[in-house]
Structure 1
Amino acid sequence: MSAEVRHSWVDIRNWVHARILDRTYRPGDKLPRDEDIAKELGCARSTVQRAMRDLSDAGIVERKRKGGTQVRAHPVTRATLDIPVTRNEVEQRGSVYGYQLLTRVIDEIPLAVMSKFSLRQSKQMLHVEALHLADQRPYILEDRWICTETVPEVLNVDLVEQSANEWLVHNKPYSRCDLRFYAVQADEYTARQLDAPLGSALFVMERTTWINLSPITTVRAITTPGYQLLTQI
């Protein structure tokens, strides 16, 4: 790689991964230090760290505090799921995307949100509820809390014009994401918003993200009947 080109963390990840695949670095081998890779490739150490974190999350390498990084002797196969931009998801289906902001208010977080963020006491956060549409039909009902201490700039975003989902994906990187999937029966409110039969089975995705130890957002996304989720392994 030429040091004259500004490389992204994806470039660095792919460069390291290619050398694992061609056996330059074999299972169990210790990789060069992040700062040495950064010097060799002409990039910031933080860029290498981001690339290594992705390889670690994929189960390809193992990172130990003060112990460096090594190629896993037995790579772990894991499913990967990127946080989707709902607009892109709808348009990739060939449908016309629509969006309605239902609620935007600073409020005291409920106990369930305190638990998700591992907070010992309640605090105020931005509560956003929105409806995503596909061809003018309900697609996903989103109930989201955003920590304004971590993301103060969201208060200046026009959430009538742009969804919090889209803005956060593009503007707020995260270091940790907890995912939970389950099904619920549509209650009266949810059935009305999603134009679904009362009591119908609905797929729910819950995501909670942090930057280091600071909470970013937690969202409960309830999908319309028939929704399908695709992941890759």
Structure 2
Amino acid sequence: MTEPIRHSWTDIRDRIHARLLDRTYRPGDKLPRDEDIAQDLGCARSTVQRAMRDLADAGLVERKRKGGTTVRADPVTRATLDVPITRAEVEALGSVYGYHLLLRDLAVTPPAIAATLALRKPVEMLHVEALHLADQRPYILEDRWISLETSPEILGVDLAVESANEWLVRNKPYSRCDLRLYAIEANARTALQLDTPVGAALLVIERTTWINEAPITTVRSVTKPGYQMLTQI
């Protein structure tokens, strides 16, 4: 007896994508229900849902609760972003990685952080400050807030040994990442922490990750002078 073929979500995604490319589903068309596509392609409904989520993340379709899935009339090209593990980043440069935990505290989110995380009201989260080193020199100064709703396990992690950056990347996959880049001049406190002159130009990287509509973490990383960031699209 021949066993039924098990389709992965990537197989189903590629088959639906092919129908977008050959105009079986045209821009503006409403796609069949997930249940109907699952029956047509011989897979589980959950497999179709996962495939559709990836197509939505890629900007090819738009999904609305109780409104179904529609082919975007104006597909959006979106870059994918892999959040780097700072230790691996430093070692890839041929440097020796180091790490200091500066602060680990349970605290209520200040208004600016609550707004970044789209919280209706301030909540208690884990606040972490850390300094990453390359060859015993400051590399990145990190100020992070971690949701205890989506990442309660972080309370059991020894953050003096393993950085929150590395633990979150390895253990908390995200469905959305908001990224903001800007430059600042080092004030007295930041200059001291990064061992750089007051007024030096510094790149700031702010990342906020989410799982569906729930925030995971938001981090403000102030980098050493001359830091370079590479992303591939």
Shift of 1:202: 0.8
Which stretch shifts more, 64-73 or 13-22?
Answer: 13-22
Q: Secondary structure at the match of 1:91?
A: helix
Answer whether contact 1:13 1:54 (CA < 8 A) is retained: yes
RMSD (Å) for aligned C-alpha atoms? 2.8
- Does residue 227 of structure 1 match 2:223? no
Answer whether contact 2:34 2:45 (CA < 8 A) is retained: no
Q: What are the superposed Cα offsets for residues 103-154 of structure 1, whole Å, 9 maximum, x if unpaired? A: 1111232222122223344332211111222333322111001122332111
Q: Distance in 2 between matches of 1:109 and 1:58?
A: 32
Q: Distance in 2 between matches of 1:50 and 1:93?
A: 36
Which stretch shifts more, 70-79 or 145-154?
Answer: 70-79
Aligned CA distance change for structure 1 residues 48 and 90 (closer, same or farther; 3 Å): farther
Shift of 1:99: 2.4
Q: Secondary structure at the match of 2:89?
A: helix
Number of equivalenced pairs: 230
Answer whether contact 1:142 1:219 (CA < 8 A) is retained: yes
Aligned CA distance change for structure 1 residues 173 and 48 (closer, same or farther; 3 Å): farther
Q: Distance in 2 between matches of 1:232 and 1:72?
A: 24
Aligned CA distance change for structure 1 residues 13 and 99 (closer, same or farther; 3 Å): farther
Shift of 1:221: 0.9
Which stretch shifts more, 71-80 or 216-225?
Answer: 71-80
Answer whether contact 1:61 1:69 (CA < 8 A) is retained: yes
Q: Distance in 2 between matches of 1:175 and 1:210?
A: 6
- Residue 183 of structure 2 corresponds to which residue in structure 1? 183
- Residue 202 of structure 1 corresponds to which residue in structure 2? 202
Q: Distance in 2 between matches of 1:3 and 1:94?
A: 49
Q: Distance in 2 between matches of 1:10 and 1:111?
A: 40
Identity of paired residues, percent? 69
Q: Distance in 1 between matches of 2:92 and 2:10?
A: 23
Shift of 1:30: 4.2
- Residue 143 of structure 2 corresponds to which residue in structure 1? 143
Q: Secondary structure at the match of 1:113?
A: helix
Shift of 1:15: 4.4
- Residue 63 of structure 1 corresponds to which residue in structure 2? 63
Q: Distance in 1 between matches of 2:121 and 2:77?
A: 38
Matched AA of 2:165: N
- Residue 158 of structure 1 corresponds to which residue in structure 2? 158
Aligned CA distance change for structure 1 residues 146 and 28 (closer, same or farther; 3 Å): same
- Residue 132 of structure 1 corresponds to which residue in structure 2? 132
TM-score normalised to structure 1 length: 0.81
Aligned CA distance change for structure 1 residues 159 and 65 (closer, same or farther; 3 Å): same
Q: Distance in 2 between matches of 1:114 and 1:182?
A: 20
Answer whether contact 1:128 1:144 (CA < 8 A) is retained: yes
Q: Secondary structure at the match of 1:161?
A: coil
TM-score normalised to structure 2 length: 0.81
Instruction: Point out where structure 2 has 5 or more consecutive residues left out of the alignment.
Output: none
Matched AA of 1:201: A
